[in-house]
Amino acid sequence: MSGDRKPLLIAHAYGNTRARLQTVLAATVDAIELDLWYRAGQLWVRHEKRLVPLPLLVDKRMRGHSLPPLSLPFGKRLYVRLDVNGLKLPEVLQKVWGSKSLLVDLKGSYHLRQTLDFARTLVSAIREHAAEDWTTVCGQFWPVLEDVRKEAPDIDVRYSIEHVFQWEKFMRLVGEDERVRKVCIEHRFLNEERVRYIEEQGVNIFCWTVDDLTEARRLAAAGADGIISNDLELLAAMRGARQESELPSADLKEPLSRAGEL
């Protein structure tokens, strides 16, 4: 990674509830990350897993975020809540509508037919809201990402990496397809060898989830193209440092890939 680019500032999980979305729309960040599941032909925005067949959602408590409405503690680290009045992607797209960029993190794993249906439903929603230029799709279940790329080459796609097998697969993809140069990567997964490979291949990287300001500054100085954080104050501090350096601010109407390269 080289230090001649400023990072895009991305609020982690702030698109997952209506309350968080309202908060982040007024914040000084470039982009909003949200998590997306596909079920019954619908695009559901949430991080929690559903306890099938019960109408319950369960998840670990997320650092820096209060519990969603109608939540109850479950053990020391978990909580549960009713799966009612769910938030769907079209509602988020309508509320954001280009005021900030979106990073849509696809959750779950799916059978072949579901994978294609997920991709097509997602692409349709993005197109219906004219969101192609300010929405990026990422995730760790890569078959959906690959179907999105086939269905809509104009929509920005990033491969998410936090395990060795994903890294090895990504290196194979880079060799086979020159368009594969964008990733979201767990920042602790980076080491000297991987950073060197990223620099050699010209890979554009967003680092998650960075909640320590010193680490965020180190990654930015090293040339990370995006910083994903739960901490809005951290992102505001990064924004202030960016403005003080007199670098141009990110154009929120640009895709994440282009904005991160400014």
Name all domains of the chain by residue range, CATH numbers in brackets. 8-46+88-259 (3.20.20.190), 48-85 (no CATH)
pLDDT mean for each 10 residues of the chain (262 residues): 75 97 96 97 97 93 90 92 96 97 97 96 98 98 97 97 97 87 97 95 97 96 96 95 58 36 32
Task: Give the three-state DSSP class for 224.
Answer: coil
Residue 31 is predicted with a pLDDT of 98
Residue 26 tokens read as: 């007024």
pTM (2 d.p.): 0.90
Encode 219-239: b = buried (16+ Cβ within 10 Å), e = exposed: bbebbbbbbbbbbbebbeebb
Per-residue pLDDT at 6: 84
Query: What is residue 105's three-state secondary structure?
Result: strand
Contact 131, 155 (CB under 8 A): no
DSSP code, position 155:
S
Sign of CA dihedral 185, 125, 116, 40: positive
CB-side neighbour CA atoms (13 Å) of 10? 33
The residue assigned the tokens 């197109």 is 127
Q: What value does the CA radius of gyration of the chain take, rounded to a whole number of Å?
A: 18
